Structure 1
Amino acid sequence: MKINSVAILGAGAVGSYMIWGLSSKKDLRLGVIGEGKRAKRLKQGCFINDQMYYPEVWTSQEAHNVDLLIVSLKYGALKPALDSIKTIVGKNTTVMSLMNGVDSEEIIGEVVGNEHVLPALIKVASRKENGYRFDSETTIGIVFGEKQAPFQSERVQTIENLFENTGLHYRTSEFIQEEIWSKFRLNVCNNLPQAILGVGVGCYQDSKHMKFIQEGLRQELEAIACAKGIDLSKVASSTRGSAVPAWAHYSTLQDLDAKRPTEIDMFSGTLIKMGKDLGIPTPYNKYTYHLIKALEEKNEGLFDYDQNDSRETCAK
């Protein structure tokens, strides 16, 4: 078994890391999915780490039955893309979701069949700066594996062979569900508090108040994970993200800085729903959710009041 063709759906930060690595495989057909204006833009190339890359650009129909589909979309773009994913996936297609969160595999599996989905995650600290930039040496990279034995399945070995000698960092895991939840914990606890304060990640070392908020979010997430049978102690060595400087902004703050919608529904929004279903209180996540939603509204101009505003106010 060999992978001869790979399609990437979502050519942002994560997709750029995959394009950067897989472009070195000379016997591989590598394409990104795009149609209309997006396709036209992608055909102009992808600027990554000061170099231009030119993967093929395919429609979902042209990518049908590709050997490997890598889904690296923002969470809000996943459901609108499900028809395209269904078109791409053929009898022999393996799907790897490198999205944030803990439910993208389930959402995709409901459309194409769980047998096509190989659970995976990625840890890459990337920033948009004249294209996308990341430190290839310090990037932790891709973690993937089967949910149950045999863990060294034929498709796992095939993916390993694909990634070998590409520059991509990767490893397999026999506890992939716990690995995915461990990354989810990193995102919720590290991504969200700094986004509210609007400062670099050094805040978690420098402020006891930020640590307090971070700890409250962590305790709620771990209580939900435990109730769902996810034993995070199995992956105690997988609790760190890719190395970043103290001034770094994670994705939620990057989105707010750029006045884009965030993925807060995937983070705290998902935990609030799970907590409600399981009877587990999530006050830290509820407060964080509504604060970040309000910051999104601020970016949209909802609070751009002026002195001529006719609404009455009452001062006490």
Structure 2
Amino acid sequence: MVSVQEDIQMNIKKVAVLGAGAVGSYVIWGLSKRDGISLGVVAEGERAERLKKGCIINDVTYNPEVWTPQEAQGADLLIVSLKYGALPDALDSIAAVTADNTTVMSLMNGVDSEEIIAAKIGAEHVIGALIKVASHKEGSGYYFDPETTIGIIFGEFEAPYNSERVEAIEKLFENTGINYRVTENIREEIWSKFRLNVCNNLPQAILGAGVGCYEDSVHMQAISEGLRKELEDVAKAKGIDIDKAGKSSSYGSAVPPTARYSTLQDLDAGRHTEIDMFSGALMRMGQELGIPVPYNEFAYHMIKAIEEKNDGRFDYSNQDKRMSCSK
């Protein structure tokens, strides 16, 4: 069998995007400028019909093709940009798209989406990647600042790091507006972003305030540092040296103090969050390694309780009415 890297030969012609939300919109925005490729989003049913009307990104409507997984089969590059909770149900679609020549790039949060996808389609198809984009939804559109967006960081998990497919993806992203960087430490970079998400997403989500709270409150700083230390203890025990990612990976895209990161955006919208991928994953790893993670346990249960509140579990108004009538 011809390997994935040999087959691409620096010539990506068909790109499929699975997940056209906040992250997928950044990819669609950039690659819509690339001539000479077929660009499509993978969807079926009601979602497909909605996407056929176009994707509104920074007040412009983009119209990538809409493919079923079978129609997307054989894509040279499949970019997975789903919410973590949607990944298990999407694995069959990912497998349907993947052919011998297909490289899969996961731009999902967390530290294990590549492993989950690789278990389904084979590790030889998966390239390590992450994205840093402060994107948010307004109405039916998605918005981000192209100038301050750090963008996509990607690379091979093992040498050779300047592989054919790395060069092919670089060529694909050139002159599209997509910001990108290749790294030889992609595993550590992924954990570095994971650290940003855990330490910055979760305390803010519980408080319900803009990111300026980390500058303005020593209490918020203390919670963030507690989460950070636990994560770094787990990473060290797993043999992951996050410092290899470099200082540039310790920061996200520039945002104003009013900014609300993805976990708080989900809670604001009454959606369930990706807390299972953040503190939930650290709780599992901590238990396996014998490392206590009390800050993450508290964050996990607190955000789960807020989700329950949003679901209406603590709406006691009818009970109050019944009690007042019985007096």
Whether these two folds match at TM > 0.5 is yes
Matched letter for residue 84 of structure 1:
S
Partners of 2:160 and 2:101 lie apart in 1 by 19
**Aligned residue in 2 for 1:137:** 147
Matched letter for residue 202 of structure 2:
L
Matched letter for residue 298 of structure 2:
Y
**Aligned residue in 2 for 1:285:** 296
Residues 209-260 of structure 1, C-alpha deviations (whole Å, 9 max, x = no match): 0000000000000000000111011123110000000000000000000000
- Pair 1:84-2:93 in alignment: yes
Q: 1:72 to 1:307 in 2, by over 3 A?
A: closer
1:149 CA displacement: 1.2
**Aligned residue in 2 for 1:193:** 203
Give the structure-1-normalised TM-score.
Answer: 0.97
Matched letter for residue 103 of structure 2:
T
Partners of 1:107 and 1:124 lie apart in 2 by 23
- Pair 1:263-2:274 in alignment: yes
1:308 CA displacement: 3.5
1:184 to 182, 194, 200: 194
1:2 to 6, 11, 24: 11
1:161 to 162, 166, 171: 171
- Pair 1:55-2:70 in alignment: no
Consecutive unaligned residues in structure 2, runs of 5 or more: 1-9
SS at match of 1:77: helix
**Aligned residue in 2 for 1:28:** 37
Matched letter for residue 16 of structure 2:
A
CA RMSD of aligned residues (A): 1.1
1:121 to 125, 130, 133: 130
Matched letter for residue 196 of structure 1:
I
Matched letter for residue 144 of structure 2:
F
Size of the aligned set, in residue pairs, is 312
Matched letter for residue 35 of structure 1:
E
1:71 to 80, 98, 102: 80
Residues 3-60 of structure 1, C-alpha deviations (whole Å, 9 max, x = no match): 0000000000000000000000121100001111111000000000110000000000
Matched letter for residue 34 of structure 1:
A
**Aligned residue in 2 for 1:95:** 104
**Aligned residue in 1 for 2:313:** 302
Q: 1:281 to 1:86 in 2, by over 3 A?
A: same
1:306 CA displacement: 2.2
Q: 1:172 to 1:311 in 2, by over 3 A?
A: farther
**Aligned residue in 2 for 1:174:** 184
**Aligned residue in 1 for 2:284:** 273
Matched letter for residue 143 of structure 1:
I
Partners of 1:91 and 1:82 lie apart in 2 by 17
Deviating above 3 A after TM superposition, structure 1's stretches of 4 or more consecutive aligned residues are 307-312
Matched letter for residue 163 of structure 2:
S
Partners of 1:236 and 1:220 lie apart in 2 by 20
Residues 128-180 of structure 1, C-alpha deviations (whole Å, 9 max, x = no match): 01400000000000000011111101100000000000000000000000000
Partners of 1:9 and 1:116 lie apart in 2 by 16
Residues 247-296 of structure 1, C-alpha deviations (whole Å, 9 max, x = no match): 00000000000000100000000000000000000000000000000000
SS at match of 2:305: helix
Partners of 2:108 and 2:52 lie apart in 1 by 24
